[in-house]
C-alpha cells in the first residue's frame, strides 16, 4: 500500500471556526510532512515530524497546530484562520526525514481549504 | 546563499514536440528529485539523481544531473497530452539539509 490518505477533501470554514485536517499512511514511513500550496506555486513546507516528534516548524503561525498521535497519523488543527490561509494543504510521508540522502516523498491528495 | 532557478516558468508545446525543464543552482547540490503534479492533483515522485553526470531514463523521460552538480534537466521526447502538468525539481544543498521545491514549470500540450 503506497497511499497517503487525507480527509476531508474540501473544507470551508469561517475565521472563528476550529477544524482539523487528517492524514494517514501505512507504509511504515517515519517522517511525515505538512505543506501549503497556493495556485501555480510550489508546495511550501510547514512542518516535519520525524519518529513522531516535531523536527521542523517553518515559522508557521500558531493558528496552525500540528499533531502526530502515532507513526501512521498526522493531524493539522486549525483555529482563527485568515482568508489568506485558503490553499491546498498537502500531507506527505517518506521513509526517513531529511537531512540524509533525500528520500522520495509520497503525497496525499490534499485538502482544499477555503476560509471565509 | 543558495539560489536555484527553475526555467522556463511556462511551456506550451504541440503534441509530439519535445520539452525540457531545467533547475540551475548557484552552488553545488547534494541531490535533486523531480516530481510531476497533474492539474487538480498532487505531486508524484519521478526520480532522484545523486551522482555527478548521472543520466536516468524512464520511457520518454530523460533526467540529467550536471557534472558540477549545479544543474539538472528533465527532457520529455514526443510529448503527449498525458504529460500535461507542473514539473518541480526538489533540491538539497551540500550540507544535506532539508530539500526545497523549485518554482515549477507548467507544461501545456496542444493536441
Q: For position A24, what pLDDT does the model report?
A: 98
CB contact under 8 A, A101 and B31: yes
The three three-digit cell numbers of residue B67, written as one number: 557534472
The rounded distance, in Å, linking the Cα atoms of B14 and A51 is 46
pLDDT at B15: 98
Q: What is the pLDDT of residue A100?
A: 58
pLDDT band for position A50 (50/70/90)?
very high
Residues of A (21-50) whose Cβ lies below 8 Å from B: 40-45, 48
* Whether residue B95 has pLDDT greater than 60: no
> Residue A98 is nearest to which of B44, B98, B106, comparing CB atoms?
B98
Is A109 in Cβ contact with B103 (below 8 Å)? no
Cβ contacts from A onto B, under 8 A: 60
- Percent of chain B surpassing pLDDT 90: 84
Q: Is the dihedral of CA B21, A95, A62, B43 positive or negative?
A: positive
pLDDT at A54: 95
pLDDT in tens, B1-24: 667 899 999 999 999 999 999 999
- Name the pLDDT band for A93 (thresholds 50, 70, 90): very high
pLDDT at B74 > cutoff 80: yes
Indicate the pLDDT class of residue A103, thresholds 50, 70 and 90: confident
- pLDDT of B93 reads 72
Position A97 scores a pLDDT of 80
pLDDT averaged over every residue in chain A: 94
Q: What is the mean pLDDT of residues B40-63?
A: 97
Would the pLDDT of B98 be above 80? no
For residue A91 the three cell numbers come to 500531507
Length of chain A: 116
* Residue, of B91 and B105, whose pLDDT is higher: B105
> Which chain B residue has its CA at the smallest distance from A46's CA?
B100
- Rounded to 5 degrees, φ, ψ at A96 are -135, 170
Mean pLDDT of A70-88: 96
Nearest to A37 by CA among B30, B55, B103, B84: B103
Q: Is B6 exposed, middle or buried (0-12, 13-18, 19+ CB in 10 A)?
A: buried
> B71, B7 in Cβ contact below 8 A?
no
| Mean pLDDT, rounded, for B41-56 | 96
Instruction: Decide if pLDDT at A110 tops 80.
Output: yes
Interface of B with A in 33-52 (CB under 8 A): 33, 35, 41-45, 48, 50
pLDDT for A23: 98
In contact, A76 and A61? CB cutoff 8 Å: no
Amino acid at each position: 500500500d503506497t497511499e497517503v490518505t487525507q480527509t476531508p477533501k474540501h473544507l470551508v470554514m469561517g475565521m472563528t471556526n476550529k477544524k482539523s485536517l487528517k492524514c494517514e499512511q501505512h507504509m511504515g514511513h517515519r517522517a511525515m510532512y505538512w505543506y501549503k500550496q497556493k495556485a501555480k506555486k510550489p508546495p511550501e513546507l510547514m512542518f516535519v515530524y520525524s519518529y513522531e516528534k516535531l523536527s521542523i516548524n517553518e515559522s508557521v503561525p500558531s493558528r496552525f497546530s500540528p499533531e502526530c498521535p502515532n507513526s501512521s497519523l498526522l493531524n493539522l488543527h486549525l483555529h482563527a484562520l485568515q482568508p489568506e490561509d485558503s490553499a491546498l494543504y498537502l500531507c506527505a510521508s517518506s521513509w526517513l526525514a531529511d537531512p540524509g540522502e533525500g528520500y522520495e516523498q509520497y503525497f496525499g491528495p490534499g485538502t482544499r481549504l477555503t476560509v471565509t | 546563499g543558495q539560489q536555484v532557478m527553475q526555467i522556463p516558468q511556462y511551456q506550451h508545446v504541440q503534441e509530439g514536440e519535445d520539452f525540457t525543464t531545467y533547475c540551475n543552482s548557484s552552488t553545488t547540490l547534494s541531490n535533486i528529485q523531480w516530481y510531476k503534479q497533474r492539474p487538480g492533483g498532487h505531486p508524484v515522485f519521478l526520480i532522484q539523481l545523486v551522482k555527478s553526470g548521472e543520466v536516468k531514463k524512464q520511457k520518454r523521460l530523460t533526467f540529467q544531473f550536471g557534472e558540477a552538480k549545479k544543474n539538472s534537466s528533465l527532457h520529455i521526447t514526443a510529448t503527449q497530452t498525458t504529460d500535461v502538468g507542473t514539473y518541480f525539481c526538489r533540491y538539497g544543498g551540500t550540507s544535506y539539509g532539508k530539500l526545497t521545491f523549485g518554482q515549477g514549470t507548467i507544461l501545456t500540450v496542444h493536441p
